[in-house]
Each structure stands twice: as C-alpha cells, then as structure tokens.
Structure 1
Amino acid sequence: MTMTMLSPSTPQRLLVAGAGAIGCTLAARLAAAGHTVELLARGATLQALRQHGLQLDDLDGHWRTPVKALAEPGAIADVIFLCSKSQDLPALAAQVQPAIGAQTLIVPLVNGVPFWFFHGAGGRFDGRTVHSVDPGERLGTLLPLAQVLGAVVFVTAEAEAPGRVRSRTPHLLMLGEPAGGISPRLQALCALLADAGIEARPLERIRDKLWTKLIANLTSNPLSVVTRTTLAQIYSDPVLLDTVRAVMHEAMLAAAAHGARLEIDPIEFLRLGAGMGAVRTSMLQDFERGRPLELAAIGDAIVELAELYALPMPATRTLLAQTRWHAARRAADTAPACALKAA
C-alpha cells in the first residue's frame, strides 16, 4: 500500500484522536505547520480548546494554535494519530471509524507493547495476538493492519491545564512498517512531521527501538509508583538500582529471545535514564490523579512475550504485583473521601 499523496508542502487533513499531553503537543505543531488538524477531545478539555485554542510551551517557544476541537470525528482523514492510554485504545479505535478511508494511514502513539507487535513479524509467532493489550481481538478488526504504521514515542510532555501543555525535551518519534523496510508512505509521513518541527526517524526494524522503549518503560513506570520518585532517582539511587537491574536484565533476555537487536548496553542504559532529570513518569502522574495504570501494556504484555519462550521474569512479576498493591491501596484510601463528596 502506497501513500504518495502525503507531502510536507501540501496541507493534509489530520486527525489527532486524544487530547492528552502527547496528542496536544502533536496537534499544536502540525497545526502551526499549516495542516488542517481535527483534535478529538471531551469534557473540560473540549470546552477549553473551543474557547481558548490549543497552547503549547516547548523548547521552541510558546504556541497558540487554532485546531478544530471535536467530540466525534468529521471527514475521512489522510492520517489518524491515536494518542491514548493503551487501555483506552479499543474505545478510541471504535470512535474514529468514520474517519478511516481506504487510504487513511493509522499511527498509534501508545505506551507499551502494541497490538500490532506480531503483524508482519515473520517466524513462528507471525500474526499472533498479544492478549494482554487486545484481549477481545478487536483492534486488528477495527484498525486495518495494512494501514497501520508502528511508532515509538520519545516525547515527554505534561498537561498543565485542559488544552495547555508543556514539553521540556525535543520532540522525537521513530516510525516503521510492522513488516519492516522503508516504504514511500513511511518516508512521506516522516517528512511531514519533520516539517512541523518533530524529528521523525524512519526505521527498517521498528521492533528494535520498540524494545528499548519497552525496557525503559518497564524499569521506570511501575517503580515510580512504588517509590514516588523521578527518573533521575530511579536510575541513580543505589537502593533502587538492584530492582532496576534485575527487571532490565529479564526484559533484555526477552528482547533477545524475540530477535531484537539492542544498540544500548546496560551501563549506558542506566546513565541515559539518570540523565533524563527530574521527570515524573506518565504512570506516576496517572497514579497521583487516581487514573487507571497502563500495567497491562507496559508490564503484563512483556511477561506474556517472555512466557512464549518460558522465561520466568520473577523480578518483573514482583514489581508489577507491588505496583498493583499501591494502586489498590490508593483507591481504597480515596474511596471514603469520594463518598463524602457525593453525599
């Protein structure tokens, strides 16, 4: 499937589904580059976007851009960016159905193991469903796999208020065909994003970089909830490093079993993590706000992939169990307060 109509110099109709921090960052830069951007939102965020527009503060300055904020998608889009928590993706995929045409390119920007992981992978598991992230096997039906591009997101951003986002790091996306290789549509999309000030690297083997991000998420997100600490602390505190190393080594073994070529060694991995600074993970932010945690995609799915090769993952299983304990404890502690407010 080719998509030669994509051009950075020609305005495109783009749908950004999900008005969280990543979705708003992407929408602001694409709209500023002259593209027609529809941004799916709801509640207070939808109202704020309609009243005040979209505001982004990043390394290039302050952006206040007009976007078409919608509760439901409008016309068929050239590209759909799905920007949601992994557990919300099935509902979002159903919502964007009116915007998917025969030539629409679909780019899920989600954390954790993606639903398309085994699509076009070849080998004994080719076409297999990752049940931790797609238990009902709906996503492959709702989102035509032939129209999906894989993405690894290296963008950190935080919503300061509905419709207002701050990002303190460079915007970087790595994109690739699930079946491998560099296609014209992949190159065209990378050029479109680059024109909007978003570094987009086309990769021949998207899963290699995906595994690097998976290991980063697995070693940092759950532990940030258990310890309430930042990335700098997680990757430098001697007390925490034993857990980080144990989980990292288990995940690296799983990556190797699945044929990933990791370009980074464990020592460099820890150094880069510590260098991220006082960044609070998205999972910690969700925990503090009482939201569901992305443990299925970030943790359970990696355990599922490891089980295919009979890898036990004891440190990872323990960390995930501890994280769920803290989430359950917080929910129990806040339940009485919520009940009082309702009364």
Structure 2
Amino acid sequence: MRYIIIGAGAVGGTIGGRLAENGHDVVLVARGAHLEALRRDGLRLISPHGAATVAVTAAGGPEELDLREDDVLVLAVKTQDTAAILQEWAPRPVAGGGAAADALPLVCAQNAVENERIALRLFRRVYGMCVWLPALHLEPGTVVSHGAPLSGMLTLGRYPRGADETAERIAADLRGSMFAAPVDQNVMRWKYAKLLGNLGNAHQAICGPVPGSQPLMERLLAEGRAVLDAAGIAYTPPEEERRTRGDQVNETAVDGADRPGGSSWQSLAKGSGSIEADYLNGEIVLLGRLHGVPTPANETVRRVAGEFAREHRPPGSMTISALLKLVEEEAAAPPLM
C-alpha cells in the first residue's frame, strides 16, 4: 500500500513521516514553501525521541501523480478546505481502471464530523479517523511531534459505520509506525467525543492558553453535550478515551520547540486567513438551531474566531474577560425570529 497524505501539516506530516520512517511508501502533498522544502531537503521530524530527516516523495497535487490500485488517500487538511480538494482528487484516473473516487479508499484524518459526509458524496469507500496527535507545524519542511512514547492515537473505522480488511491493514501499518490505532465499528462516536474536546480550540486561538478560561470551556462543553443529547448522537465518554489511550500517548515537551497552541492557534499564527471554528463550534451551533437548544457561547466563539482569521489578527490578542463579556451579551440578546 502506498499512502498519499493530502495535507502534510502537523497531523499529516507526522503520520506520513512515521510511516515513511518505518519502510512504507509515502507521498506528502503540500504547497508553497513547505512543498519546496520537502522536495529539497525531505521532512524534518522533531519529537521527544530526537530529530530526523525523512526522505519522502513530495507532490503539489494529483496532477503530479500516477495513481495506483494500492494507493490509500489520507486527507489531513482543515475542514474548510475539504470540498475543494476532494473535487481535484475524485476524478483522477487510477492505473487498472476507474477514477480515484470509485477505486481508492479515502481516510479522513481530520477534526470535525463534516468531512466524512462531504467525502461520501464523491468517494465510495470513506473511513473516519479520530486523531489524537499533539503536533506543531509552523516552519516549512519541519513538523514537531509532541506525543510520547507513541506519536498519537488514531482510531479508525469505515464511514458511516463498520470495519473491513482495508481498515485493519491500515491500522496494522500505523501500529508498526509508532501509533496506537484501534479499529472501531462506530468510529463517529469517537469523532463526536473529539468534537467536544475541540470546542476549546477557537477560544485558545483568540485568547491564548491563559488562566481563567475554564468557565468558558465549561459553557462550551455544556452546550455541546446538550445538543448532541438532543440530537440523539452518541459520543465516547472521557473515561473510555482515557482507558483506551492509557499511557501510550502523552503530550511531551520537545527541547527548543514549544507547542504554544493547537491547530486553530496555528492557523492564526500562520495567517492562513481561515479557521476551522465553523465546523467545530459551528457544528454545535447548527445542531442547536436544528433542535432548539441555545448555544450562545459556541456562537460567540465561532463568530469571533472567524473575524480573527479574516482580519489576520494574531493569536492571543483578546483577553478572556473580553470574550466572556461577548458571550454574556450573546446570551442576553433576544432570539432572532
């Protein structure tokens, strides 16, 4: 199997780098200065285990590759980019016949719960992956993995549910490449639980990892659980996640490479112009509107995070008290008719 990692950032770079280190055929798909650095120097992968330069094949897009029947597409971009990118990959021909959408498995190694639905509109075989993988990508050609002793836990399953031989083969390759990789018949239960944890991404990006954020996080989680319960959506309880992960993966310091924030913080730090909040906090807002559950905290955080991204405001440039004030104003506002 050849793994084509579409989006070789923090998550995709770590997954692809570890697979390549352990003898698997890997292509990292990237763009801009990151792509140039990968082509010129390879992937520099820094972790608590040390630093290594991994020789990988790098590509800018599907037009640069001859797709094969044994390819596995691993999508590791932000949700706001999923639809456009899959439109590029879905019609590409595969050696042996057919288009990628019909012939190849697609793994959504992403936060949020919308990616799999978007993918299933185009691809016949879609797999969800719940990613617990602390990593950082701010410098071209370099990814810092903060997980130890394993680099991450990647729970995998067929979408919308089930498991098959392909899932088991992918999981086996990941287990041999410094990952915990459980296969679960209902992977979306894990992804909805991860969604709840990711509700803090945006406020961390807006305010930074500062003291005093716990009351806001509790409000975000309370709204999230309320809407999932109202919608009848199952999610893995925290104790099951902790029991499954155990001590296999812990966020660990790496000398000279602090991880100042998660994926949303990194989006603002890089000035990407977009942020994933519409599909994290915004998922809770959507479900709240569908099921009549107020979600003022998630709506405020979603809106402000979007403003930060569009205006290229730096991460951590609003105080937590100012953000909480906006939440209170949203909660007190009369409902729109």
Give me the TM-score of the superposition, normalised by structure 2: 0.76
Question: What pairs up with 1:169-318 in 2 under 5 angstroms?
Answer: 169=147, 170-218=151-199, 220-229=200-209, 233=210, 237=211, 239-257=212-230, 258-264=232-238, 279-291=260-272, 292-318=274-300
Percent identity, aligned pairs only, is 27
Give 3-state SS (helix, strand or coil) of 1:108's partner.
strand
Give me the whole-angstrom Cα distance separating, in 2, the residues matched to 1:193 and 1:75: 24
Question: In structure 2, which of residues 60, 80, 99 is the aligned counterpart of residue 87 of structure 1?
Answer: 80
Q: Deviations over 1:188-225 (max 9, x none)?
A: 2111111122211111221221122101111x112113
Q: Deviations over 1:248-293 (max 9, x none)?
A: 111012222333143227xx9xxx9xx9686512111211232211
Question: In structure 2, which of residues 30, 34, 40 is the aligned counterpart of residue 41 of structure 1?
Answer: 30
Give 3-state SS (helix, strand or coil) of 1:302's partner.
helix
Superposed displacement of residue 331, structure 1: 5.1
Superposed displacement of residue 76, structure 1: 2.0
Question: What pairs up with 1:138-153 in 2 under 5 angstroms?
Answer: 139-142=119-122, 144=123, 146-153=124-131
Give me the whole-angstrom Cα distance separating, in 1, the residues matched to 2:276 and 2:138: 21
Superposed displacement of residue 15, structure 1: 0.7
Q: How many residues align?
A: 284
Q: Against the structure 1 CA distance between its residues 279 and 199, is the aligned structure 2 distance closer, same or farther, given a 3 Å change threshold? A: farther
Q: Against the structure 1 CA distance between its residues 329 and 83, is the aligned structure 2 distance closer, same or farther, given a 3 Å change threshold? A: closer
Superposed displacement of residue 302, structure 1: 2.4
Contact 2:288 2:294 in 1 (8 A): yes
Superposed displacement of residue 63, structure 1: 2.9
Q: What is the letter of the counterpart of residue 112 of structure 2?
A: G
Give 3-state SS (helix, strand or coil) of 2:106's partner.
strand
Superposed displacement of residue 101, structure 1: 6.2
Q: Deviations over 1:218-246 (max 9, x none)?
A: 1x1121133122xxx4xxx3x32221111
Give 3-state SS (helix, strand or coil) of 1:116's partner.
helix
Q: Deviations over 1:73-95 (max 9, x none)?
A: 31224200011111111222123
Q: Against the structure 1 CA distance between its residues 280 and 141, is the aligned structure 2 distance closer, same or farther, given a 3 Å change threshold? A: same
Q: Against the structure 1 CA distance between its residues 107 and 66, is the aligned structure 2 distance closer, same or farther, given a 3 Å change threshold? A: same
Contact 1:16 1:40 in 2 (8 A): yes
Gaps of 5+ in 1: 1-11, 118-133, 333-343
Contact 2:18 2:177 in 1 (8 A): yes
Give 3-state SS (helix, strand or coil) of 1:88's partner.
helix
Alignment-derived partner of residue 168 in structure 1: 146
Give 3-state SS (helix, strand or coil) of 1:211's partner.
helix
* Moved beyond 3 Å, runs of 4+: 139-142, 275-279, 324-332
Contact 1:28 1:64 in 2 (8 A): no
Q: Against the structure 1 CA distance between its residues 328 and 162, is the aligned structure 2 distance closer, same or farther, given a 3 Å change threshold? A: closer
Give me the whole-angstrom Cα distance separating, in 2, the residues matched to 1:329 and 1:318: 16
Q: Are 1:108 and 2:108 matched, yes or no?
A: yes
Contact 2:205 2:261 in 1 (8 A): no
Q: Deviations over 1:13-54 (max 9, x none)?
A: 221111212111111111112222111122211211111111
Question: In structure 2, which of residues 121, 125, 133 is the aligned counterpart of residue 155 of structure 1?
Answer: 133
Gaps of 5+ in 2: 95-99, 253-258, 315-337
Superposed displacement of residue 310, structure 1: 1.7
Question: In structure 2, which of residues 51, 56, 63 is the aligned counterpart of residue 62 of structure 1?
Answer: 51
